[in-house]
């Protein structure tokens, strides 16, 4: 039998992007410690609906730490107290009976609040769209070993591709920068042979789109700490290197 605990939630409620919000206190009673954080919110919402009140709006989808939609600020930390964990993977066993938990949406001007805990993260989509696509004509699916890729390169590219686009790096950064997200999305293509065709155009376009929406990176390192996939800050240095090269190469091509 799992233990059951009582929690006091201080939740940000906001009716829409153009309205003022405020914290509202709710009691989450008799919650199983085996429940995930989102399951706990589901239980609170069911009780609110039964009482004729508006449920708390929050985002979720896969609930397996893959889709990145579940991001919340929990007691001032992106995704909560457990490192390398998305909000949907955080369990109530991480808290103690009687704890007070403050729950907020991502706090960044580039992520306007849609309602309550849900924010608009289309700025991240704009960065991805700026990257275009790979124009290599692959034909039918080739055998995996036809394009030789060094093991270390493949593993590093996979580390970058682990980014789920949740926006925790932006929410945790004092500058609301999106360098870690952009660098991860860039380098998982830039490191591989298949990504070379548009490497320099892609790098310049994605970095400059990012700068149009987000603040600048000053190497606080909060992004690396908040990332649920623990993507290292090294990717930012590699992306900055590629951006400088891209400016030179693209200028030569334009001339």
Question: What are the boundaries of each domain within the chain?
Answer: 4-115, 121-254
The pLDDT, as a whole number, for residue 254 is 62
Rounded Cα gap, residues 184 and 165, in angstroms: 10
- Sites in the chain below the pLDDT cut of 70: 1, 134-136, 138, 141-142, 144, 252-255
Length of the chain: 255
Quick one: pLDDT at residue 159? Answer: 96
Under CATH, which architecture does the 4-115 domain have?
A: Roll (3.10)
User: DSSP per residue over 56-109, as a string?
Assistant: PP---SSSSSSS-TT--EETTEET-SSTT--GGG-BGGGS-TT-EEEEE----T
Handedness of CA 97, 99, 103, 107 (dihedral sign): negative
Residue 104's contacts (CB-CB under 8 Å, 6 or more residues apart) are 12, 72, 73, 117
* CATH number of the structural domain 121-254: 1.10.1060.10
Strand order in the sheet with 77-78: 22-32, 4-13, 100-104, 73-74, 77-78
């Amino acid at each position: 039998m799992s233990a059951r605990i009582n929690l006091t939630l201080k939740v940000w409620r906001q009716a829409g992007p153009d309205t003022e919000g405020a914290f509202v206190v709710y009691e989450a009673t008799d919650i199983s410690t085996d429940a995930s954080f989102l399951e706990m919110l589901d239980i609170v919402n069911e009780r609110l609906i039964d009482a004729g009140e508006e449920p708390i709006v929050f985002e979720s989808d896969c609930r397996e730490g893959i889709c990145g939609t579940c991001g919340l600020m929990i007691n001032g930390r992106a995704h909560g107290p457990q490192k390398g964990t998305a909000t949907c993977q955080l369990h109530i066993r991480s808290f103690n009976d009687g704890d007070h938990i403050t729950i907020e949406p991502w706090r960044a001007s580039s992520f306007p609040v849609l309602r309550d805990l849900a924010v608009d993260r289309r700025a991240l989509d704009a960065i991805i769209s700026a990257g275009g696509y790979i124009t290599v004509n692959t034909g039918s699916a080739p055998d995996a070993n036809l394009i030789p890729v060094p093991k270390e390169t493949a593993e590093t590219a996979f580390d970058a591709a682990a980014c789920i686009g949740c926006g925790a790096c932006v929410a945790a950064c004092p500058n609301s920068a999106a360098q870690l997200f952009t660098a991860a999305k860039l380098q998982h293509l830039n490191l591989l042979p298949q990504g070379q065709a548009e490497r320099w155009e892609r790098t310049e376009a994605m970095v400059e789109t990012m700068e149009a929406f987000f603040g600048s990176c000053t190497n606080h390192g909060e992004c690396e700490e908040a990332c649920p996939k623990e993507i290292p800050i090294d990717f930012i240095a590699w992306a900055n290197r590629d951006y400088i090269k891209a400016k030179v190469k693209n200028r030569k091509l334009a001339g």
